[in-house]
Structures are given as structure tokens and as C-alpha cells.
A and B are shown apart, each in its own frame.
Chain A
Amino acid sequence: MDRLERLTLIGSATLMAAFFGALVYAATQLRISVPTCVTDVAPFTQGKVIDKGNHHYEVHMVAKMWAFDPPEVRLPPGAEVDLYLSSLDVTHGLYIEHTNVNLMAVPGSVNAARFHLDTEGEYSAICHEYCGAGHHFMMGKFIVTSAAAAPAAVEAGAALGQQLFEQKGCPACHSIDGSTAVGPTMKGIFGRTVELEDGSTKVANEQYLEKAIRAPGEEVVKGFPPAMPEPALTGAEVHALVEYLETLK
């Protein structure tokens, strides 16, 4: 073999070995690695944040078409977080910006990462795997704040409705600007006459909208697929959503 060729071979192999050495150093000394197989947590369907005390939190995050549950996680600065991630339906991703948390959410399996967020602020949690027609709406939030309790919570009315509309992933199917997506637009929905699958018509008043949110499979608007899941909402929340929809002229 030619001398220069041999040099290239040895040189490139050495270079790759050096790179690999750096990675092993990062994994063993700096604890930067990739997720491993989680066997002690079964796939879950409910999102929750558990305060384990001593600045330690456990977050169970559920990815679903097309929102995260919980949609918002509030943490104090420097909290140590054990994040477990699963999916209710298809494959999703979760990337928390400005961090090394970059995970796939695969149904039937649980993923995990340990991290801490030291600087106060809002961190987008972006779904980065294509998960269907509403994928581009799927984003959650990690909010790091030293403010003691929950923020000035929006308790009722159209403002709460708007918050729910965004957090529950509604915009993935229902636009508010008149454009048609997976479902009908919510622009000017209040008082509109809608034609149902069976050919009958209804006026979208308060009763109709509440029923449409609670039992979406019963009266499906003509021309749209029966694609809407039944949401987990309290009566007050449904009411707030309807109040918000009334404002969308």
C-alpha cells in the first residue's frame, strides 16, 4: 500500500478514535449520554407533575395528537427533574429548547431524561416528529419561575377558554381565521347555522356548542371526518370554552 494512503488510513482512524474518546469522557465524567431502556415505569396515559421534595420533581409527560399533557410544567429554578415520556397514540418527539433534552415519544414504551433548568424563563417543548395533520401545533411549555405559587391563574370566562383552546390542541384542527383544516373553523361559529352529517341543520348556540365539545362524535358537521376525541374537561371548563368561542367573530 502506498505510504500516503497508509498515512491517510492511520490518520483518519486516529481522528475517529480521538472523537470517540471525547464522547466517552463526556458520558462518564460529565454524564451526557443518551436514553436507555426504562423497565420500572409502565406506559402511562395521564400526565402529572410530582413534587418529590428537596428540589426534586418527577414529570410524567403524555404526548398525544396534538398536545402535551400537562401542557405547561412550572418549576422553580435549579429543580432536578426526572422526565418520563410516553405517547397515547402515534410517535411524537420532545425537544426542550436550550437543553439537551431531546427524546422520542413512542407509544407502548417509556422514555426518560434527567435535567435541570437553572435560568428563569419559558422553554418551548417542541414536538419534532411528524405526528399527523396537526403536528405543527404541538408544543408544550416548561416555565421556570421562583414565584411561589401558580401565577395569576385565569379562573373563568373567555380568557380561560382561550387558554384551554390553545393548551388542549384545539387549533390543530379548528382555525380561528376562517381557514378550513381537519375540522371546521371557529371563526364566527356562534350563531352560525351548521349542516350535520344526516342533512339536518342546527344553529350553533350555547347548548349545541357544549354538546359538540362534550360528545363530539354525536353530531358531526357535514363534510368533516368524525375525528374529534372526547376531551377531559370539567363543566366549568366547557363553559369557559364556549364563552371564548362566542368572542370569535
Chain B
Amino acid sequence: MTAKPAPPPDHFTLDTAHRAALLVLLIVPTVLLILGSYHGLMQVLYRSGLIRSTGVLGLQYYQGLTLHGVINALVFTTFFEVAFGYAVVAYFLRQGFAAPVTWLAVVLMLVGTLMAAFAMLSGSASVLYTFYPPLKASPLFYIGAALLVVGSWIPYFQWIPVYLGWRRAYPKCKTPLAVVGMLATFTVWFLATLPLAYEVIVQLIPWSLGWTSTVNVVLARTLFWFFGHPLVYFWLLPAYVMFYVMLPAVVGGKLYSDAAGRIAFMLFIVLSAPVGLHHQFADPGIDSGYKWLHGALTFMVAVPSFMTAFTVAASLEYAARARGGRGLFGWWRALPYLDPDRYLFAYFFAGLVLFFFGGITGIINASVSMNNVVHNTSWIPAHFHTTVGGPVFLSFLGMTLFLLTQLTGKRVRLPRLNVWVPYLWMSGIFVFSFGLSVAGLLGEPRRTNLGLTYSNPDSPLFHPAWEPWSRLGAVGGTLMAAAMVCFFIVFFATLFSRKERGPRLLLPEAEAYHDEDVGAVRNFTPWVVVAIVLLIVAYVPPLLEVITGATQAVPGYYPSSPIAADH
């Protein structure tokens, strides 16, 4: 007789230690997000020339840009994903974890974040979230980043034995799709953060402490992007977990195909990392053949995203028809866009609309020689605000609120305002990204304090052709900031409201419409092996070329001075 796991009881919840840990992981980055979002708004004001200054309120432009990137893209996402991963693995496998180990992870991540935040706020780490050497920051910044990453590894190694134990207990059952997705997410993360750890721990920390005097910049850049593109999938995959498993349940439908989700997650394990050189198409010191190889692999990683788009749309159609939707396209009208009780749908849907554009612009960026037109122009932030700033950010925000209400037993306050937040954000992104895309095609650089020069009629560098588009970007950025203000009002009103019931953990879970059991995607091992083989093929030759080739190690510079830092 096949043992089957019992359905989760309605009163399933986490123990107190884990509820507290998850609340810390959700609330701390949301508070930091206030600072991160403020600097997002400041970006568009500076860039459009509405502010012509090196800094405002004691914080410099590039310092603010560093805070914006590090908090929004690295801290908020990593904290959320660890919290979400614990919730998913615990709920779907009905398991607990050793609280001291979980808390070790939380403390490491918190201490790392505080160290990096101190370095950034004190102005000694204005190196942006890509921290390319030989720009040099305070050692606190690099050590903080390393602690954040190491802390985020711990949960992965806590979940693996729990997962293996479940597999042994229920050998005939498919692993719940959400668990497959979160394990895939952290497998991608673990493989990707190894080269980052090498860059930070072996190259940058000793160098920033003054123990070594020079650094091989091309090597550091290659290791960073070895990490940097899988990072994108580390952001995206938890959103895919929500789209596959939770979105159909929220709208009262079914997941169109369970196997599609499993195949997509396994393909991401294989293909998310051996593609990083597409961020270095414009770099010297790397043979263009390797760039072409990574370009081709990047095109392949688009396929599981196409699959996801199809499956999600098909699941939505199934739900819409079940709700009475009719017609070839008319069924779109039957979805609960503004239902305050199903606000997760609004967050997911607005993100998916943005991702349509994010996916297309992503394919453009990966198109090897076409990258010449857009590389490092404002087209790039226009693109990634429709990906990490679209489906990723919105689904994380919605789920943060959802988990908060579950873990605390509170009810979402201002629900009607809440359900509009994702649409306001989506409109803001559309305007912002449209402005920045056009400006980018006209040559406007990203990460530049344009207000002082390129957007300044009094400067010899003034570029009037970019100005209207930067202004449009500012309109969009202001709408985005308004959406964030609304979100923070809802979040904190909910957080500080009275408890209405006991804590619980009840995650939406959709049944599958096509529920095939594909043997090839039952186990992670073969896919991880293929991933490692592909990584070796894609990265060992260019890394050897960089290490043994014509590139030289060079001294460091602080961002404030053109004189080498060791002088």
C-alpha cells in the first residue's frame, strides 16, 4: 500500500521560533525598502534634471544608487526568498526545522546587512550593487555581503535532508511542485554564489583590507557575472512557484500542466548559469567565441520561460471559463482583477503583464551583436524594471503581505487601496520604462547623475534629445513611488493592527489539470550533473583565458579620487 501524505490541516502553523524568524526576514527588508524606494525616486529626479546636485540631505547620488540596488535587488529579495522557502517547504512537506540553525541563518544575514548598510550610509561604499573592482569600498561592505550570502546557504542545507526524508517516506508520490521550485531556486543560488564567494572572499576582502595590492579586474568581472545572471533566476523562480502553484488556486482554477512546471524548473537548473558572458559582450580580454556560446545558451533559457507563459495563460483561461468567461478572448473579462480578497491575483497579474515586455527586451539584450546598441544605456534599467521590478517585485510584495497576515493572525487593512497598488506600480513601470528605453536607444547612459551635465542646458555636455524621455522617466518613477507609499501604508497598518485569530500557515495550492508523472523530472541529481558539466564547458575555457591571458592585475581606487588608493 502506497503511503500518501495527509492533506495539511487547516490549523497547520509554524512553531513560535520559526514564526519569529520569518517575521524578522519579512519585516526588516520591508523597512529597508523605504530607504531603497526613496533612492529610486531620487534617481529619476536627478536624471531628469529636476535636481541638479551631487547629493541631497547628506546622501550623494551614487551613494543613493548603491543603496537602491543593494537594498531592493539583493537584500529584500534574498530575505524574502529565505522566508518564503521556509514557509513552502514546511507547509507542503509538513515538517519543522531545527530553530537554532534557522536563527543562525537569520543572524548571519542580519549582521551582514547591517555591516553593508553602515558602510553604504557612511559613504565608504559608493560602488553600486555590482561593486566592480578596482573601485574600492570599505571591507565592511564586502564582509557584509559575504555574510548575507553564507547565511542564505544555511536554509538550503536544512531543506535538503527534510526533502530526502519525505521522499523516503512517500516513495511513490511526486514531490509537491512548490517544493521542487524552491529547491531549484536555491540550487541555482548555491551554484551561482560559489564564484561570487571566490570573488568576494579571495579577491576583494584581502584587497580592501590592504593585504593584497592589486586585483585582476577581468577575472573579477567574469566571476561576478558567473553569479549575476543566475541571480536573475534566483529572483524569478520563486515568482514562478507562485504562478504555477498559487495563482491558479487564487482564481479558483487549475494548473494547466504540472509536468510543465517541473520541466521548467529543471531546465532553469541546467541553463541559468552558463550564460553569464552575455553581460560581458562589450568586455575586453574574452574571446568572442565564448560570448557567442553564452549567447546561444541564453536563447535556450528563454524556452522554459515561454513554456511558463503558455502554462500560466492556459491556467488563467481554465479558471476564467470556470468562472463563466466566454469567447476566444472574452474570457479575459472574467478574472477577479480588483477583488480585495484575492489581492494576490492583482499582484501576480500586474507582474505578468510587465513580464511580457521584460521577456522580449531580455531576448534583445541577449542578442549578441544587438547588445552594442543597448549596452549600459538606460535601456538596461528599463528592461530589468519589467523583470525584477515587475513579476519578481510584485509577487514578492504581495506574498510578503500574505505571509505577514498568516503568521500574525491579522487581516489586511485598507484592502481596496491594497488591490490597486500593483496596478499603480505597473502603470508607473510602463511610463518609466518607456521613457528610459527610448532615451537608451538615443544613447543615454545608465547609472549617471545626468542632472549636472547631460540634462543641464548650462553644461557643455547637454544632450537635449534625451531630456523629454528622462522627464517621462521621472513621471513613471513618481507613479512607482506613489504605489510604494500606498504599499507601505497598507503593510504597516496591517502590521500594527489588532490580531484577529491565531497564527496559521495555509498556502494556496492548485490541483493540476494535466497531472502527468514524467520520470525524467522526478530527481534533481541528473539535472544538477548536467548543469555542472555545462558550467565546466561554458566557463573553464574563458576563465583560463582570463587568468593566463593578456590581462594584468591593477591597484584599487576609491570612487572619490583619481589617485590610487594605496598612495
Q: Which residues of A contact B (CB under 8 A)?
A: 1-2, 4-5, 8-9, 11-13, 15-17, 19-20, 23, 26-27, 32-39, 42-43, 64-66, 85, 89-91, 93, 95, 97-98, 100-104, 106-112, 124, 126-133, 135-137, 139, 166, 177, 179, 181-182, 225-229
Judge whether A102 and B376 touch: CB under 8 Å: yes
Enumerate the 3 nearest inter-chain pairs by beta-carbon distance, A residue then B residue, closest first.
Answer: A227-B561, A12-B306, A111-B284
Other A-B pairs beyond A104-B280, A135-B449, 19, CB < 8 Å: A8-B310, A12-B306, A23-B369, A27-B369, A33-B288, A38-B550, A42-B550, A89-B562, A91-B132, A100-B373, A104-B376, A107-B217, A110-B550, A130-B62, A135-B62, A136-B448, A136-B449, A226-B563, A227-B563
| A4: contacting residue among B299, B310, B368, B564, CB under 8 A | B310
Complex contact A90–B135 (CB within 8 A): yes
The complex places the Cα of A63 from the Cα of B390 at a distance, in Å, of: 35
In the complex, which of the residues A23, A90, A91, A128 contacts B448, with contact meaning CB atoms closer than 8 Å? A128
Chain A contact residues: helix, strand, loop or mixed? loop
Mark B280-302 against chain A: 1 for CB-CB distance below 8 A, else 0: 11111111110110011001101
A107 CB contacts on chain B under 8 angstroms = 134, 217, 552, 554
Asked if A8 contacts B447 (CB within 8 A), the reply is no
Known: A12-B303, A108-B551. A37 touches B448 (CB 8 A): no
Complex Cα gap A139–B560 (Å): 18
Q: How far is the CA of A38 from the CA of B526 in the complex (A)?
A: 38
Q: Name B514-567 residues within 8 Å CB distance of A.
A: 514, 516, 545, 549-554, 557-564
10 A–B contacts, CB within 8 A, in A order: A16-B299, A16-B363, A36-B288, A93-B376, A95-B377, A106-B217, A106-B221, A128-B376, A132-B559, A135-B448
Contact call B516/A1, Cβ cutoff below 8 A: yes
Q: Are A90 and B53 in contact (CB under 8 A)?
A: no
Contact with A along B496-525 (1 / 0, CB 8 A): 000000000000000000101000000000
Q: When chains A and B are docked, how far (Å) is the Cα of A5 from the Cα of B54?
A: 53
Q: Which of A8, A127, A228 contacts B445 (CB 8 A)?
A: A127
* A17 vs B460: C-alpha distance when bound (angstroms): 45
User: Looking across the interface, which residue of chain B has its beta carbon closest to that of A41?
Assistant: B550
Contact present for B363 and A5 (CB under 8 Å):
no
A91–B563 CB distance below 8 A:
no
The answer to whether A109 and B443 have CB atoms under 8 Å apart is no
- How far is A27 from B367 in the complex, measured between Cα atoms in Å? 11
**How many angstroms from the CA of A227 to the CA of B303 in the assembled complex?**
50
Residue pair A65, B562 in contact (C-beta under 8 Å)? yes
B552 adjacent to A43 (CB under 8 Å): yes
In the assembled complex, B452 has its CB within 8 A of some CB on chain A: yes
- CB of B564 within 8 A of CB of A37, answer no
Flag if B314 contacts A4 (CB, 8 Å): yes
Contact of B134 among A17, A64, A90 (CB under 8 A): A90
Known contacts A1-B259, A110-B550; is A8 also within 8 Å of B307 by CB? yes
Which of A2, A64, A225 contacts B561, CB < 8 Å? A225
Cβ–Cβ contact A106 & B284, under 8 A: yes
A17 closest partner in B (C-beta): B299
Chain A residues with Cβ below 8 Å from B450 are 136
Residues on the A chain within 8 Å of B287, using CB = 36-37
Tell me the minimal C-beta distance from B227 to chain A in angstroms: 17
**B373 touching A65, Cβ below 8 Å:** no
The answer to whether A109 and B218 have CB atoms under 8 Å apart is yes
Q: Find A128's partner among B128, B373, B377, B516 (CB 8 Å cutoff).
A: B377
Enumerate chain B residues within 8 angstroms of A131, measured Cβ to Cβ. 135
Q: Are B368 and A23 in contact (CB under 8 A)?
A: yes
Q: Which chain A residue has the least Cβ–Cβ distance from B127?
A: A130
Chain A residues with CB under 8 Å of B285's CB are 37-38, 106, 109
Chain B residues at the A interface, C-beta cutoff of 8 Å: 53-54, 60, 62, 65, 126, 128, 132, 134-135, 216-218, 221, 256-257, 259-260, 280-289, 291-292, 295-296, 299-300, 302-303, 306-307, 310-311, 314, 363, 367-373, 375-377, 442-443, 445-450, 452-454, 458, 460-461, 463, 514, 516, 545, 549-554, 557-564
Contact at B288–A19, with CB atoms within 8 Å? no
Q: Is the CB of B303 within 8 A of A109?
A: no
Instruction: Determine how close the nearest CB of chain A comes to the CB of B306; give it in whole angstroms.
Output: 3
Interface-centre pick from B260, B291, B460, B561 (highest chain A CB count, 10 A):
B561
| Interface contact A179-B554, CB-CB below 8 Å | no
* A132 lies within 8 A of B296 (CB): no
A17 to B300, CA, bound (A): 9
B445 close to A26 (CB less than 8 A): no
B286 in complex: contacting residue of A26, A37, A226, CB < 8 Å? A37
Asked if A102 and B300 sit within 8 Å, CB to CB, the answer is no
Known: A20-B299, A34-B282, A106-B283. A182 touches B288 (CB 8 A): no
**Would A108 and B369 count as touching, CB distance under 8 A?**
no
* B53, A179: Cβ atoms closer than 8 Å: yes
Interfacial chain A residues near B557, Cβ < 8 Å: 65, 89-90, 132
Roughly how many angstroms separate A66 CA and B135 CA in the complex, as a whole number?
A: 13
Instruction: Please give, as numbers and ranges, the residues of chain A lying within 8 Å of B562 by CB-CB distance.
Output: 64-66, 89, 132, 227-229
On whether the beta carbons of B372 and A93 are closer than 8 Å, the reply is: no
Partner of A103, one of B218, B282, B303, B553: B282
Report the separation of the CA atoms of residues A102 and B449 in the bound assembly, to the nearest whole angstrom.
20
How far is the CB of B390 from the nearest CB of chain A, in Å? Answer: 20
Choose from B134, B282, B463 the contact partner of A102 (Cβ within 8 Å): B282
B553 to chain A, nearest CB (A): 6
B135 touches A16 (CB 8 A): no
Q: What is the distance, in angstroms, from B543's C-beta to the closest C-beta of chain A? A: 13
Roughly how many angstroms separate A139 CA and B557 CA in the complex, as a whole number? 20
Which residues of the other chain, B, contact A132 by a CB distance below 8 angstroms?
62, 135, 557-562
Cα(A109)–Cα(B545), bound, Å: 12
Bound: A166/B292 CA distance, A:
39
**A135: B residues at CB distance < 8 A:** 62, 447-449
B451: nearest chain-A partner, CB-CB: A136
